[in-house]
């Protein structure tokens, strides 16, 4: 695991998403309008597992993001597909310290 600073808390407004490149990876970050169990920030791999659409450019409704390309939807709190439980997208732990948003990413293979 390596901890990477993604952005400032001011870069993503509540109820919105953002995307940030980290090395050769794209990370989608989501800031819930209403925190879930005290957690406001979540992160997923930024490329939709369907066909590579940009999840960080998707619309966030509650804790569900809709991929802008073909409409697949994921629960951003755990990466699960809302209709097909067999589809599990990669999610990453998020840490917020002061005004910085960090994400723990697995080491590249
Ligand atoms: S690429 Fe995301 S739904 Fe098709």
Is the CATH number 3.90.1150.10 carried by domain 2-102? Answer: no
Verify whether ligand 1 is closer than 6 Å to residue 47 (CB atom): no
Total-model pTM: 0.96
First-to-last alpha carbon distance for the chain, in angstroms, is 11
Would you state the pLDDT for residue 86? 94
Verify whether ligand 1 is closer than 6 Å to residue 67 (CB atom): yes
Residue by residue, DSSP assigns the chain as -EEEEEEEGGGS-TTEEEEEEETTEEEEEEEEEEEETTEEEEEEESB-TTT--BGGGSEEETTEEE-TTT--EEETTT-BBSS-TT-B--EE-EEEETTEEEEEEPPP-
| Atom in ligand 1 nearest the alpha carbon of residue 70 | 3
Listed by start position, the domains of the chain span 2-102
Look at residue 29 and tell me whether its pLDDT is greater than 90. yes
pLDDT tens digits, 30-70:
999 999 999 999 999 999 999 999 999 999 999 999 999 99
Look at residue 107 and tell me whether its pLDDT is greater than 90. no
| Atom in ligand 1 nearest the alpha carbon of residue 51 | 1
């Amino acid at each position: 695991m390596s901890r990477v600073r993604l952005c400032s808390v001011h870069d993503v407004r509540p109820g919105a998403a953002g995307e940030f490149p980290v090395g050769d990876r794209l990370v989608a970050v989501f800031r819930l309008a209403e925190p879930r169990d005290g957690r406001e920030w979540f992160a997923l791999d930024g490329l939709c597992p369907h066909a590579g659409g940009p999840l960080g450019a998707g619309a966030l409704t509650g804790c569900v993001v809709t991929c802008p390309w073909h409409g697949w939807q994921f629960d951003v709190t755990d990466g699960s597909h809302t209709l097909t439980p067999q589809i599990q997208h990669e999610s990453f732990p998020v840490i917020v310290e002061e005004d910085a948003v960090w994400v723990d990413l697995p080491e590249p293979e």
